[in-house]
Chain A
Amino acid sequence: MTRKKIITGFLFFLLTNNLCAQDVKDWLSVSGTMGVSYEGYGLSRSPSGWTGYTARRPWNQVRFNFTPVFKFNKDFSLPFNFNFAAIPTNFAGPYAGLKNQNLGQFITNPMNSFGLNPKYKWAELQLGTQYLKYSELSTGDIGIFGIGFDLKPKTYRIKFFTGVSQQGVNYLLGPPTVTGAFKRSNWMFQVGKEKEGVYNVAINVAKGKDVPSSANPVPLTLKPQEGFVMSLVTDIFFKKGWYFKSEAARSIFTKDLTTALSPAANEFKPFIDGHTSTVTDFAVNGAIGKKSKNFDIGVSTKYLGAGFQTTGYPFLQPDRLDYTLNTRFNAWKNKSNSYKMNVVASVGQRVNNVSNTALKAKQFIGNLNWFTQFNDNFSLNVNYNNFGFESASGINPYGIKNVSNDLGINPTYNWSNTKMNHLISMSYNYSIYDERDVMTGNTTSNNTHTALLTYVPTFFEKDVSPDFSILYFKNDVPLAKIQMTTISSGLSMEAAKKKLRLRGQLQYTIGKLNAFSNNNNLIASCNVDFKITKKLTWNTFLTTNYFKYGNEIVPNGANYVETTSRTGFQYRFDTKK
């Protein structure tokens, strides 16, 4: 009931705001958007009782966004960033499985943001949910609900923020199982000096600490943690596009706050105590190179010590050394003095286990994308990617060796007359993936061929743009062969004096696994974007997916239909006359 009231009120506000905007004074300008959208999902499986396919979206979801920027004069602005959803849908992370959240959990749930950033000249106050990236090695991936500031007097930079990145969530066996979480408080601080395009020097400090008593029962697979990190960022930009960037960081991280305090352990008082599970390590990030209009070259390297860990980047994989050489250049001028050829390439290596606490693993990385516009009608794109991974395998007789090679060739030809343009695009990709069996030493090759042909006619005097394509996909690996053929067509058109924009797509795929009978898949979708007024749009997206198995699974001929409908209103604030 409360939810319905909120939605109704929001819609009322959204529709009436258009009228109120007429009274906005000259001293106030408003930009940004606000809106509400509903997403519904349906899944019907046959035969009845078969559960071989599971839902992949929430049955119902309502999302709100309110992101206007109120600008009172040239010095003072007030941006809002409210994005929130009615139903929690966390699957990964500490909130996974949570269905009924209290207010604190709702506010700090990563799916919701409530941010307000009033700014006066060089001073910005940060209130509510903020995703702040101080640097690559200190903090940047997590949202924190709290309070802070960002001051930029002249070339000086002073930033501080403190708050809560997650509330305590009790473990629940379920079903559904709730992973649970410890309440985590964070703070971060930066002081530095920056002249845009010339230099940037900054010291970052960030800390996060869990409250062990904040969950009861405690999460089974998580430990209360505490992390502290300090880093120094130095970026220098020279003339003619040359640059040097670096960051050096040291972290002190307690992996389990319930372990005993130890005077011999790493500590950095008064910021962090030493427990028997406290580790300390460092990380370095560096890049040097040159950027220009037609030529880029750069070398970058990143070292993350095995014990380097921060609460600001919870998914960081440490214990590695990466180094890559990147380049991009344009070549082969045409008559109009622009370039016909563009090449982007990189080559590098990643070494895991620099610390020797694990088995050494090496990964080779190579990418090339080579585009050539031979003339007005014909272009060719070639791309090649290589990823290789090699490691010892512990007690197994053979080491791990996986190599992935992908080659793609994409010629495009187009021609036109007075009424229309024709475009034919072909694409062929060959992918081979070799994997060594660590027990027998035999290498298995996994080959994939993909061929795509697309035709796009464009009418110069009509508002209709169709496209047609056919695709063949084949994956061949010992004991399994997958083949798929897809035909699809899309249509885009405008109507009602360009107030209505329609986009539709129809796709049929016939697939086959080994000698089993064919499976069939039909997807139909459409977007309808309707401009109700200059500022108010109504966007609707509908899609349905029908899939019928062959006899590759039991029960034979099992099938399902899933539908997704998304509709919403977006109001664009714009007080400019």
Chain B
Amino acid sequence: MKKIYAILIALFVFLVTDAQIISTLVLSTQPPAQLSEWGNRKEVLTLIIRGQAGFVPNFKVKAEISTSDGTVIGFVDLARAPIFTGNSAGNTILYAADVLPLELMQFSGKYKTSLQRTGKLPADNYILCLQPVRPDDFFPLGEKQCKTFYMATTQLPILLKPYNEEVLDGKIAQTAITFRWSPVVPNSLPLATYRLQVFEILPTQSPVQALRSNQPLLDKEVKGTTQLIWQPQLSFIPINDNNSPNKYIWTIQTLDNNGNPITQTDGSGEARSEPIIFFVDLTKGVKVKN
């Protein structure tokens, strides 16, 4: 009987010390370019951990980011990495904030420089590999799980027409004003939604003040296309006593498939392109020479 107990204890010790962990990595193929943003979004990275025999020992996660040719460009400092206690009764689920804590990561060369300057990695294909390891000697406790991802910063549209400070002929503008802008880059599916907004700048307002405080005269969403012909249905009689042309500011807000700003870490966080102003002059081209 004692022998049976001894065998069972030996088996238990073996299982505990060399227990294999099965892990599954789910990674977005095009995660946010801003690495610090990964930790805020649970949908970016999920690591599911479970024990092979229903038992999960304490573990750390070895994390490496490499280029597509296998060169490691960044890794988590395992000595300082957090120790996780597995859930023996079921799955243990970890997210980017757990396995890729930026404050514990070390990057090299131009990737380190790029991160310090921009918070982003250069546009390219990368491979992320995660592996559970023993906390004390970093001995692998399971297979390495690797996923590729493509990273490119979202470039918001640039407003093309009317160009900055363009003076439009009021007679034409009262029938139609054509707006054009460049597409969001990268231009991928699902197509982005462009929310075009035009604000009147009152004589007492600065342009950005008008944008942030007035109700837009035009607030229109279009999907995919980069031109809109607006029939203003407005009278552009000058609102100033001095007959100076009326002034407007316009911008594009780029929205994702869920109607949220396509990038929330750049600029104002609203994914609004740099606004520009234009004038509408009813007397343009018809100045009378007395």
Contacts and interface: CB of A to CB of B under 8 A. Distances in A.
Given A307-B119, A355-B114, A389 B176 contact: no
A83 interface: yes
Contacts of B264: 221-223
B68 interface: no
A56 B215 contact: yes
Nearest to B188: A394
Interface string B196-212: 01010010111011011
A109 B119 contact: no
Contact of A314 (B160, B188, B234, B267): B267
Contact of A421 (B40, B282, B288): B288
A179, A279, A381 pick with most chain B CB within 10 angstroms:
A279
B235 interface: yes
Contact of A260 (B101, B161, B285, B289): B101
Contact of A56 (B117, B216, B251, B261): B216
B182 A389 contact: yes
Interface in A499-516: 503, 505, 507, 509, 511
Contact of B102 (A179, A262, A529): A262
A414 interface: yes
A456 B288 contact: yes
Interface in A102-136: 109-113, 131
A432 B199 CA distance: 26
Interface stretch (A44-52, A89-97, A327-335): A89-97
Nearest to A376: B289
A131 B187 contact: no
A284 B85 CA distance: 50
A197 interface: no
- Give the bracket for the number of chain B residues in contact with chain A: 35 or more
B111 to A, nearest CB: 11
A396 interface: yes
A429 B172 contact: yes
B288 A92 contact: no
A305 interface: yes
Given A306-B120, A412-B285, A317 B237 contact: no
Interface string B163-181: 1000001011011101010
B275 A315 contact: yes
Interface string A524-567: 01010100000001010101010100000000000000100010
Interface residues of A, number: 130
Contacts of A54: 219
Interface stretch (B14-22, B46-54, B150-158): B150-158
Given A91-B219, A316-B274, A387-B163, A221 B36 contact: no
Nearest to A111: B213
A77 interface: no
Contacts of A314: 208, 267-268
Contacts of A305: 117-118
Interface stretch (A3-11, A185-193, A290-298, A468-476): A468-476
Contacts of A307: 116-119
Contacts of B285: 381, 410, 412, 425, 427, 454
A547 B234 CA distance: 11
A131 B209 contact: yes
B91 interface: no
Given A221-B260, A381-B285, A488-B174, A259 B36 contact: yes
Contacts, number: 325
B229 interface: yes
Contacts of B40: 223, 256
A475 B231 CA distance: 12
A395 B188 contact: yes
A432 B8 CA distance: 82
**Interface of chain A: mostly helix, strand, loop or mixed:** strand
A65 B203 CA distance: 11
B76 to A, nearest CB: 13
Contacts of B267: 309, 314-317
B273 interface: yes
A264 interface: yes
Given A314-B268, A402-B226, A454-B285, A56 B187 contact: no
B289 A317 contact: no
Nearest to B233: A545
Interface string B17-46: 000000000000000011011011000000
B186 interface: yes
Contacts of B1: none
Contacts of A265: 103, 116
Interface of B: 33-34, 36-37, 39-40, 101-103, 114, 116-123, 150, 152-156, 158, 160-161, 163, 169, 171-172, 174-176, 178, 180, 182-183, 185-188, 197, 199, 202, 204-206, 208-209, 211-219, 226-227, 229, 231, 233-235, 237, 239, 241, 251, 253, 260-261, 264-270, 272-275, 282, 285-286, 288-290
Given A315-B251, A363-B158, 11 more contacts: A143-B209, A256-B36, A315-B272, A317-B274, A355-B117, A355-B122, A393-B186, A400-B187, A402-B183, A541-B237, A566-B239
15 contacts: A56-B217, A58-B215, A83-B205, A141-B208, A276-B103, A277-B265, A281-B117, A353-B153, A357-B120, A357-B122, A393-B188, A402-B183, A452-B171, A456-B286, A456-B288
Q: Sorted from nearest, which 8 A-B pairs have the closest CB atoms?
A: A394-B186, A111-B213, A277-B36, A525-B235, A358-B153, A276-B102, A93-B212, A262-B103
Interface of A: 54, 56-58, 63, 65, 67, 83, 88-93, 95, 109-113, 131, 141-143, 179, 221-223, 225, 255-256, 259-262, 264-266, 275-281, 305-307, 309, 314-319, 350, 352-353, 355-359, 361, 363, 365, 367, 376, 381, 385, 387, 389, 391-396, 400, 402, 404, 406, 410, 412, 414, 421, 423, 425, 427, 429, 431, 433, 435, 438, 446, 448, 450, 452, 454, 456, 458, 467, 469, 471, 473, 475, 482, 484, 486, 488, 490, 503, 505, 507, 509, 511, 521, 523, 525, 527, 529, 537, 539, 541, 543, 545, 547, 562, 566, 570
